[in-house]
Amino acid sequence: MCGSSKKGFQVRSFGSGNQVKLPGPSPDRPNVYDFGTTYDQMYTDLKNKDCSLYPSIPPLSYTQNGILHMLDRNRRIKAHPERFQACADRFDVIFTAEERVFDQVVEELQSREPVDNTPVHIINVDIQDNHEEATIGAIMIYELARRIQDSDDLDNDIDDILQEFEARNNRSVLHAIQFY
């Protein structure tokens, strides 16, 4: 969420692929948009498609699966999705929710020319791509972010913080440090 403050944290959200992919009528037929496509355009497109275009498969409703709600929320926050690889801003911590995205973020940061060797921690917590898991994952990542923020010496404490998180939530995490 571009520049918004959530529970005391400055939070931004990015995509890392070449295009924005949202669930479609089947797993192998996602709705695909360019990063320049506005959330308003996506919302209108999916609202028009909602149920009516897919009579031969079980009813699909972008309202029921929460996609329209998510797009409505997003369009009130910023105009369109942002691609991580196009952002030159610096972050203290980057959270990802999928190993593939973690790998893309690490690869992107490794490919950049170092400026001043300021560290950034990249942390992945795998979260299934559905509304319920996203809600649970958001709570877990918030708690992890809070623990990180409370640390007086993150570079020294990070391993203990992540091990405690893994044990408490029965989830493994990936962690890498890159430098700006």
Q: 51 or 123, which is more confident?
A: 123
Predicted confidence at residue 104, as pLDDT, reads 97
Please give the distance of CA 45 from its chain centroid, rounded to a whole number: 22
pLDDT, tens digit, 9 for 90 and up, residues 55-71: 555 555 888 888 899 89
Q: What per-residue string of b and e applies to 69-92 under the rule 16 or more CB within 10 Å gives b?
A: ebbeebbeebebbbbbbeeeeebe
Q: What per-residue string of b and e applies to 22-41 under the rule 16 or more CB within 10 Å gives b?
A: bbbeeeeeebebebebbbee
> How many secondary structure helices (H) and strands (E) does the chain include?
5, 7
Find the mean pLDDT for residues 99-117: 96
Distance, in Å, from the CA atom of 114 to the CA atom of 76, rounded to the nearest integer, reads 35
Instruction: Tell me if 110 sits within 8 A of 138, measured CB to CB.
Output: no
Distance, in Å, from the CA atom of 35 to the CA atom of 24, rounded to the nearest integer, reads 17
Q: Which residues touch 107 (CB under 8 Å, ≥6 apart)?
A: none
pLDDT, tens digit, 9 for 90 and up, residues 139-154: 999 999 999 999 999 9
pLDDT, tens digit, 9 for 90 and up, residues 17-76: 999 999 888 889 999 999 999 999 999 999 988 755 555 555 558 888 888 998 998 999
Cα separation values, 48 from 12, 39, 76, Å: 29, 14, 20
